[in-house]
Each structure stands twice: as structure tokens, then as C-alpha cells.
Amino acid sequence: MTKNSARAVYLLIALGVVLLDRWTKHTVAQRISLYSHIQIIPGFFRLTHTENTGAAFSLFADSPAPWKTGLLIAFSVIALVVVSVLLWKNSRAYVATGVGLSLIMGGALGNLWDRLARGRVVDFLLFYVKRYQWPVFNLADSAIVVGAGLLVLEILFHKSSGVEESQPS
């Protein structure tokens, strides 16, 4: 596998995330009224149509700051530039780093699309147990978290390809 074919695979992964994210958000917005829900697994999971003006998992959603959306867009663009550079420089094919960066890129693009088009992001996945619940999120948020997790695993468990230097006794 060449560098260019690996890059193509990574870009296809990112594109797949964006397309799946766009489709799920569109479907939820069309079929579930805002703030309504569909129970999937009673006591654990439901689809809930919300719109988030904050960051992932509704962080900063309650902030009245007028510059919040602009800052989130700027952060997304910076993250996309960094991820793109890292993907371009990644010389290894099919490794956790490339897949993780691709997932982050696709998720960031999916949420950036919403912010640029509407100033807010459609969220719809709600997991809960009794009165305890995780903030509502979407597939783009999931891709970002899974991608970041792959990067952390790569960092924690990466084996050096170089020869280990022996320590003097």
C-alpha cells in the first residue's frame, strides 16, 4: 500500500463519517419534532431531537457569549488544518493513527457544516439510566471521541520500530 492509497482510504473514511452524519441529522430533523423523542431501549436509550449551540456534548451551550459560535467555528477550522497536515504526513497505512485522524476529521467536518449553515448542531442520541443521563450527542461527536480514543491507544501502546538502546549496567 502506497502513501497515496493510504491517504485515499483515510479520506474515504472521513467522507463516510460526514455522509452518515449528514444523513442521520437530516433524518432526525425530518422525522422527530424538536425536543420530541422516540424510545428505543426503555430505561437506557432514546432518539431525542435537540439543537446544540455549544460544543460537543452541549459544552458551553448555555453560554450567552455572542462570539461563541465564531470561536467554535474557528476552533473546528484549526483542528481540521492540524488533522489534515497530520494525515498528509502519516506514512504508515491502515494504522490507528490514520483511522483516528480520519474519524476526527469526518466528525469535525460534520459539525462544522451544521455550524456554518445554521449556527447550531443537531443532536439526537441520548443514553440514560433512571434520572442520570449523558448529554445528547450525534454521530459526528461519536466519531471524534472514537478517533481521539484510537490516538490515545496508539500513544499508550505504540511499539518503537527502532532498535532499543541498551542501558549500561
The three cell numbers of residue 134 are 449523558
- 97, pLDDT greater than 70: yes
- 94, pLDDT greater than 60: no
DSSP state of 58: G
pLDDT digits (tens, 9 = 90+) for 43-70: 999 999 999 876 655 555 555 666 667 7
pLDDT given at position 80: 92
The domain segmentation of the chain, as residue ranges, is: 3-153
Better pLDDT: 114 or 53: 114
Tell me the three-class secondary structure of 10-40, residue by residue.
HHHHHHHHHHHHHHHHHHHHHHCCCCCEEEE
Give 67-102 as a DSSP string: THHHHHHHHHHHHHHHHHHHHHH--SSS-HHHHHHH
pLDDT given at position 164: 46
| Residues recognised as catalytic | 123, 141
pLDDT band for 3, please (50, 70, 90 cuts). confident
Kindly report whether the global pTM for this prediction surpasses the value 0.85.
no
pLDDT digits (tens, 9 = 90+) for 134-164: 999 999 999 999 999 999 998 888 765 544 4
pLDDT given at position 65: 60
Q: Which of 103, 107, 138 is nearest to 9 (CA)?
A: 103
- 98, pLDDT greater than 70: yes
What is the C-alpha to C-alpha distance for residues 25 and 165, in angstroms, rounded to an integer?
Answer: 52
pLDDT band for 88, please (50, 70, 90 cuts). confident
pLDDT digits (tens, 9 = 90+) for 9-48: 999 999 999 999 999 999 999 999 999 999 999 999 999 9
